[in-house]
Amino acid sequence: MIERVIEAMVNKDHKLLASCFTEDCTYIDYCPSQNGEVNSFIYGNDCMEMFFNLRFKTGEFEAAEPVIESDDQATFFGMYNGPYVYSRIRVEEYGSDGLVKKAVVTPA
């Protein structure tokens, strides 16, 4: 699943990204604060789709040069409305349907 999440981020595909997550998902991103922005705490699949639709369209988020490290973890260079931050996304929990229930992004 991490491959699909990264593919969606790199290709700026908010619908594909949201389809990787459960309806009651949690997505936490601690990297925006590295550029003086507010960290992201997103709850629910609909919010995921709306949040990333806006971020991708406005150019406030971009993921580049991903490296899949394991079935549950990958690194990438994330642009959070400023210089790129070396970031790591980790799936912490899966739903019974195999979709991501909880993912956390931190500076790598």
Q: What is the pTM of this model?
A: 0.94
What is the CATH number for 6? 3.10.450.50
Coil vs helix vs strand at 35: helix
Q: How many domains does the chain have?
A: 1
Per the structure, the complete domain to which residue 18 belongs is given by: 2-107
Looking at residue 13, its pLDDT comes to 97
**Per-residue pLDDT at 56:** 96
As a whole number of angstroms, the longest Cα–Cα distance in the chain is 37
How far is Cα 72 from Cα 82, in angstroms, rounded to an integer? Answer: 27
Partners of 27 in the beta sheet?
Answer: 42, 103
* Of the candidates 77, 83, 71, 81, the residue with the CA atom closest to the CA atom of residue 108: 77
| pLDDT computed for residue 82 by the predictor | 86
Tokens of 76: 């990438």
Series of mean pLDDT values for 10-residue runs along the chain (108 residues): 97 97 98 93 96 95 97 96 94 97 97
